[in-house]
Chain A
Amino acid sequence: MRPSQATSPAIAADDLVVRLGQRNVLRGVSLALAPGERVAVVGPNGAGKTTLLRALAGLIRPRRGQVSLPGGRGPAEPAARAGLGYLGHRPSLYPHLSARENLAFAARLHGVADGAARIEAALSTVGLASDANRLVRDYSRGMQQRLGLALALLPEPAVALLDEPDASLDAAGVNDLPMMLDALAPRATVLFSTHDERVARALGARIVRLEAGRISGATGTASSGAASDSAARARPPGFAHAVWAMIAKDARVEWRAREQVPTLLMFTLLAAVVFDMAFIAVLGSEVAAVAVGVLWISVLLAATLAGTRLFATEHERGTLDGLLVAPVDPSGIYLAKFALLALETAFVGIAQLVFLSLLLNVSLFQVSTIGAVVLAATAISAILALQSSLVVNARAREMLMPLLAIPPAVPVLLAGVGITLGALEVTPAGQQGAWFGLLAVIAVVFLTLGTVLYPQAART
């Protein structure tokens, strides 16, 4: 299917073959959309509509074939995704953030210029202005869909990929759909999937039929929209800026949901009390050794517990896709998750220094021990953040994660124990410098590995 115009297509797929599991879900799909064109992909369940949109957005690596976005670049290039809006099967929304906060995060991640004004305009276009400060978890499914649409079109993308934009919308919502598209992304090239051909016609779209992974027919004339050379509203954000936005988002989510930190604190306190009681009752005199042992056991286990959920929550809520389609190098996602885990682990470790100092009457709360906890948290989090991304697709990941996490942590524990025993003057303090050096080396090695390898694990 070639576009009738001489202009180069806004988005094109060439002989796309995608294999999921043992199954070829797309079996050679070629498709091209002229700039400004709207195309509806219709087909029965399991035809491969969602897979096609995901492959076009770069969320799946095709086994064969190519995708080109505006500028002729593939979706794997962060800069090529700058003009891309994507609404997934589930909207990429954080339930613990309000609608406005969700949009504000997307605006920062996509580098939307004049973000605040654009957000207000988008909210009123999709009819959510009066509910903008409510948390998304209190939204109905239809409201979430409207918000998801606003979020996908927020950067005024040159190309919008919308997976069943009419899903879970009521009749009024479906009626409003053309208006929303016209208002939010008037010049965009739009490819969307739907079950309902009336929706396709209402949006003035050319219809492409997808059946069992192949395009089986097309109807409707190629509607060349107002040829858009629209310099997109969004400029890709700086890398550090995007990483910071993701960390701030996670911190805000944690502040609202209080899922991690309070539980981890309770866990460390419990570990301190229970292990201390058990060991001191028997050992009596070896207080320093018990304190050091309990400290590092609880730091490692807390990091493993928190690390298991690091990518899993984003994956389960579908928000990982939202991060991956942003025009940011995926290593930024890794770095943000690493930073969050390192902060949590260090916080819990420092709290444990206080607990143990009080409970066991030892002077563990020192500059060198705090430094050791912070550096060890950095090193452990660097490797755990990578491994957390490896287990998102695994069965029983909470069983698997400790198996992956504990062996590489051994040198970190050795160094940590070395420093803390030195601080308690169980061993001569002279070796602390070498242990700190070891911790720093491990942290650098693991962070480098994670930054380089995460982008490989991000898209399957």
Chain B
Amino acid sequence: MRQVRTTELPRPRRLGALREPANAALYAALLLSMGLAIFMAFVFAPAERVQAEVYRILFVHVPSAWLAFFAFGVVALGSVMFLIRGKSRWDRLAHASAEIGVLFTTLCLVTGSIWGRSVWGVWWQWDPRLTTTLIMWFIYVSYLALRSYIDDPNARQRMASVLGIVGVVSVPIVWFSVEWWRSLHPTPSITNPGGGMPAEMLTTLLVSVAAFTVFYVVLVRQRMQLELAVAELGSLRERLHERNEDST
């Protein structure tokens, strides 16, 4: 095979190559923190008085919820920065974060539903926390839908940025819903240290949240690289197209 050379474009990097120190460190951190989180969730944290073992679902449910909020916050940040600076990188961050936010919201709803089935005996309650979370999910699904329905990249970036800013209004509504309306859902246990959670449980929860946050960073990086590669593919095709037009 002849070694090809391109003039302007960077060489393709092997994705997620462990040779790269940053990637290696990130994946090591991911494995370590995840291993620790699982160990603590099942071994370190004691069984609960009323719920016995099933409460341990908390250690994936709460981090999912936290990351959903965090991801949607990043969507708003990326959107604002895109509108100010006009750099596609910010829009890629918003897009990646929205998709991952939707993933974690889904997982939060699914784990919550399973937990609810076990504790309340039903899969779904018309509870403010649950309902507002579901609506937040719809809002960001519609954000992703808007992106996929607009073909022109410039229009897509601008329109999505506007919606990404509007959508973040739903985050505080979900957050405060347990306080604004009477709710079956437990109130936040991290911001409420006197809430009677044993120290081991709280530590485990914090470690889980940290581990999931590392996971979020890995996912966002990967998703942004995909976005970058797709954009590059588009412009490369266009260049090839133009060159073929020129030569005819």
- Direct touching of A and B (C-beta under 8 Å): yes
Q: What residues of chain A have their CB less than 8 Å away from a CB belonging to chain B?
A: 19-23, 61, 383, 386-387, 390-391, 393-397, 400, 403-404, 406-408, 410-411, 445, 449, 453, 456-457, 460
Do the beta carbons of A395 and B166 come within 8 Å of each other?
A: no
Q: List 20 A-B contacts (CB under 8 A).
A: A19-B154, A20-B154, A21-B152, A22-B235, A23-B242, A61-B154, A393-B159, A403-B141, A404-B163, A406-B138, A407-B135, A407-B139, A407-B142, A408-B169, A410-B135, A449-B166, A456-B161, A456-B162, A460-B154, A460-B155
Task: For the complex, give the distance between the alpha carbons of A161 and B168 in Å.
Answer: 40
Do the beta carbons of B138 and A411 come within 8 Å of each other?
A: no
Do the beta carbons of B234 and A22 come within 8 Å of each other?
A: yes
Chain A residues with CB below 8 A from B163, complex form? 387, 390, 404
Task: For the complex, give the distance between the alpha carbons of A456 and B170 in Å.
Answer: 21
Closest 4 CB pairs of A and B: A394-B149, A393-B155, A22-B238, A390-B159
Q: Is B150 an interface residue (CB 8 A)?
A: yes
Do the beta carbons of B155 and A449 come within 8 Å of each other?
A: no
- The range of chain B's interface size is 20 to 34
Task: For the complex, give the distance between the alpha carbons of A457 and B169 in Å.
Answer: 18
Give chain B nearest CB distance to A63 CB in angstroms.
Answer: 8
Chain A residues with CB below 8 A from B156, complex form? 393
Task: For the complex, give the distance between the alpha carbons of A456 and B162 in Å.
Answer: 7
Task: For the complex, give the distance between the alpha carbons of A21 and B241 in Å.
Answer: 14
Do the beta carbons of B146 and A456 come within 8 Å of each other?
A: no
Chain B residues with CB below 8 A from A449, complex form? 165-166, 169
Do the beta carbons of B166 and A21 come within 8 Å of each other?
A: no
The total number of A-B Cβ pairs within 8 Å is 85
Do the beta carbons of B149 and A460 come within 8 Å of each other?
A: no
Chain B residues with CB below 8 A from A387, complex form? 163
Do the beta carbons of B159 and A395 come within 8 Å of each other?
A: no
B112-148 residues with Cβ-Cβ distance < 8 A to A are 135, 138-139, 141-142, 145-146
| Given A410-B135, A456-B162; 14 other pairs, CB 8 A cutoff | A22-B237, A386-B162, A391-B149, A393-B152, A394-B159, A395-B151, A396-B149, A400-B142, A407-B138, A407-B142, A408-B139, A408-B166, A457-B159, A460-B154
Chain B residues with CB below 8 A from A410, complex form? 135
Chain B residues with CB below 8 A from A22, complex form? 153, 234-235, 237-238
Given contacts A395-B150, A453-B162, contact A400 B139 (CB under 8 A): no
Q: Is B158 an interface residue (CB 8 A)?
A: yes
Do the beta carbons of B173 and A411 come within 8 Å of each other?
A: yes
Task: For the complex, give the distance between the alpha carbons of A169 and B150 in Å.
Answer: 35
Q: Is the interface of A mostly helix, strand, loop or mixed?
A: helix
Do the beta carbons of A453 and B165 come within 8 Å of each other?
A: yes
Given contacts A23-B238, A453-B166, A460-B158, contact A394 B142 (CB under 8 A): no
Chain A residues with CB below 8 A from B153, complex form? 21-22
B144-196 residues with Cβ-Cβ distance < 8 A to A are 145-146, 149-156, 158-159, 161-163, 165-166, 169-170, 173
Do the beta carbons of A403 and B142 come within 8 Å of each other?
A: yes
Do the beta carbons of A393 and B166 come within 8 Å of each other?
A: no
Nearest to A19 among chain B residues (CB) is: B154
Task: For the complex, give the distance between the alpha carbons of A390 and B165 in Å.
Answer: 13
Chain B residues with CB below 8 A from A61, complex form? 86, 154
Task: For the complex, give the distance between the alpha carbons of A20 and B157 in Å.
Answer: 12
Q: Is B83 an interface residue (CB 8 A)?
A: yes
Give chain B nearest CB distance to A50 CB in angstroms.
Answer: 15
Among B138, B149, B166, B170, contact of A397 (Cβ-Cβ < 8 Å): B149
Given contacts A22-B237, A23-B238, A400-B146, contact A460 B166 (CB under 8 A): no
Do the beta carbons of A400 and B155 come within 8 Å of each other?
A: no
Nearest to A406 among chain B residues (CB) is: B138
Task: For the complex, give the distance between the alpha carbons of A411 and B238 in Å.
Answer: 45
Do the beta carbons of B165 and A404 come within 8 Å of each other?
A: no
Do the beta carbons of A400 and B162 come within 8 Å of each other?
A: no
Among B146, B154, B173, contact of A404 (Cβ-Cβ < 8 Å): B146
Give chain A nearest CB distance to B156 CB in angstroms.
Answer: 8
Nearest to A458 among chain B residues (CB) is: B158
Give chain B nearest CB distance to A343 CB in angstroms.
Answer: 23
